[in-house]
């Protein structure tokens, strides 16, 4: 049984200014953050979620924040909730879950001493 762990996020945008910030939830995303060959333990899930939250922290901008809001576990070949919703209501999947298990940071690591 192959499974995928999918994290959901909410995206908040500052519709005010820096002096008087007014944050509004404007969007959300789904990310495949881990794949398992068998049912994961809670520590396995916690480790994957913690690692993912560190990825999100690196994406912070001044007027947009993306925060982790939860996870779901799916069969590896199943559509996520968001993908299924898009398919049923729009006939296509325009925004599939982003697979962050395959992030290649080789280019970013070039030039860093000690690696």
The confidence score (pLDDT) of residue 62 equals 86
- Write out pLDDT tens, residues 29-68: 999 999 999 999 999 999 999 999 988 887 778 899 999 9
pTM: 0.83
pLDDT band at 16 (very low <50, low <70, confident <90, very high): very high
Q: Which of 19-28, 39-48, 65-74, 94-103 comes out lowest in average pLDDT?
A: 94-103
What mean pLDDT is reported for the chain?
90
What is the SS3 string spanning the chain? CCEEEEEEEEEEEECCCCCCCCEEEEEEEEEEEEEECCCCCHHHHHHHHHHHHHHHHCCCCCCEEEEEEEEEEEECCCCCHHHHHHHHHHCCCCCCCEEHHHCCCHHHHCCCCCC
């Amino acid at each position: 049984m192959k499974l995928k762990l999918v994290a959901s996020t909410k995206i908040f945008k500052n519709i005010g200014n820096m002096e008087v910030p007014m944050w509004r939830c404007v969007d959300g995303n789904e990310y495949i953050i881990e794949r398992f060959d068998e049912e994961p333990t809670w520590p396995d899930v916690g480790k994957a979620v913690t690692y993912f939250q560190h990825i999100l922290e690196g994406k912070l901008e001044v007027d947009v924040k993306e925060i982790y809001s939860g996870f779901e576990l799916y069969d590896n070949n199943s559509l996520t909730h968001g993908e299924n919703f898009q398919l049923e209501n729009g006939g296509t999947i325009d925004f599939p879950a982003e697979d962050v298990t395959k992030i290649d940071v080789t280019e970013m690591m070039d030039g860093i001493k000690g690696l």
